[in-house]
Amino acid sequence: MPGYAAEVTFSIPEPWGRLLLLLVFFVPFAVVGWNLRHSRVSREEAQLGNWSGYADAGPDAPGLHARLMSRQSGRVIGVLVVWAGGFGVLALLDRLTPPAIVLTIPLGALVGAALGQLRELPAARGPRVASMRPRQLTDYVLPVERNVAVGSALLPALGAAVVAVGAIAGTPSSRTSALAIALLLATIIVGLGLGSIGRSLIAAPIDARGPAGVAWSEIIRAQNLRDLLVGTVFVNTGGSLLALLVFRHREAAHVPDWVWAVALLVCGAGLLAFVILALTGIADRTFHWARTHALAGVAP
């Protein structure tokens, strides 16, 4: 008796198949990330209790819990937006996991967290307190961190100068120059956007009822601002380097070697900036700077 062999083949159009594959990873990540928010908030509350000197936020505890939860939600949504947007578009175009998009996931997380921090929550009723000092960036992060972030803004300008000189010299095609300039413009716009979010974070009111609430809120503000500075350096360095690489790669034969030298300089400066930020972040991981400056006269 002859045997039967059956074979069923499903065929999904190529871009949609890639999208489906993305969803297979996307949905579990979204569910797990969303459900982990509570445990992350609990961990953050324990850390804030240790760092601030106030084990409990007292009457501000419910409001701060809601604020931390909003921040965690923003973080997850930020990652998902980058994932769904960036990966989805690229999957539809042609590629599945280009490294540049993977690197933007932390950026989505920190921007989402900052927007979650800025999200307006209903203010609790009752007498409020305020710290009688003006807020400024260097109360929350070390001056060296601020200077590194401000200095990194020179990198897109350096990239633009290289592209402009190349375009004037007529070495690359106008299309290559336009692409590099578009990337640099995008870098500058995202950098300015991060700066604007940072200023909003500094200006955002505390909405606290006791010294513990003020102390906790100010440490959260310092965390957000430090994350944003790292993001700014990442965008300025990564965007500038990408633009220069596009400029060099597209018309390698026509672009002089000094473009490589400038690209290496950008890469080196970016690396140095990250090393400095990493070292200051490690040295000040308990936010001692913010506690002694932003919380002078507040912490017990």
Contacts with another protein by CB under 8 A lie at 123, 127-135, 203-208, 211, 214, 297-298
DSSP letter assigned to residue 208: B
C-alpha dihedral (144, 145, 150, 156), degrees to nearest 10: 120
Q: Which is nearer to another protein, 204 or 245 (CB)?
A: 204
Q: Which is nearer to another protein, 204 or 276 (CB)?
A: 204
127 burial via Cβ count (<10 Å: 0-12, 13-18, 19+): exposed
C-alpha 10: how far from chain center: 40
Name the nearest CA neighbour of 195 among 235, 140, 251, 245: 235
Question: Residue-wise over 77-107: b if at least 16 C-beta within 10 A, else e?
Answer: bbbbebbbebbbebbeeeeeeeeebeebebb
Handedness of CA 229, 120, 205, 213 (dihedral sign): negative
Q: Which is nearer to another protein, 5 or 132 (CB)?
A: 132
**Residue 73 CB, nearest approach to another protein (Å):** 23
- Distance between CA atoms of 234 and 60, rounded to whole angstroms? 34
Q: Which is nearer to another protein, 2 or 122 (CB)?
A: 122
Q: Which is nearer to another protein, 108 or 211 (CB)?
A: 211
- Distance between CA atoms of 198 and 145, rounded to whole angstroms? 14
DSSP letter assigned to residue 87: I
**Residue 243 CB, nearest approach to another protein (Å):** 36
- Distance between CA atoms of 177 and 169, rounded to whole angstroms? 11
**Residue 295 CB, nearest approach to another protein (Å):** 10
Answer yes or no: are the C-beta atoms of 52 and 299 closer than 8 Å.
yes
Q: Which is nearer to another protein, 65 or 128 (CB)?
A: 128
Structural Rg of the chain based on CA atoms: 24
Residue 208 main-chain phi, psi, to 5 deg: -115, 155
Q: Which amino acid is at 208?
A: A
Q: Which residue has the tokens 């000094």?
A: 258
**Residue 71 CB, nearest approach to another protein (Å):** 19
**Residue 126 CB, nearest approach to another protein (Å):** 8
Q: Which is nearer to another protein, 219 or 266 (CB)?
A: 219
Q: Which is nearer to another protein, 135 or 250 (CB)?
A: 135
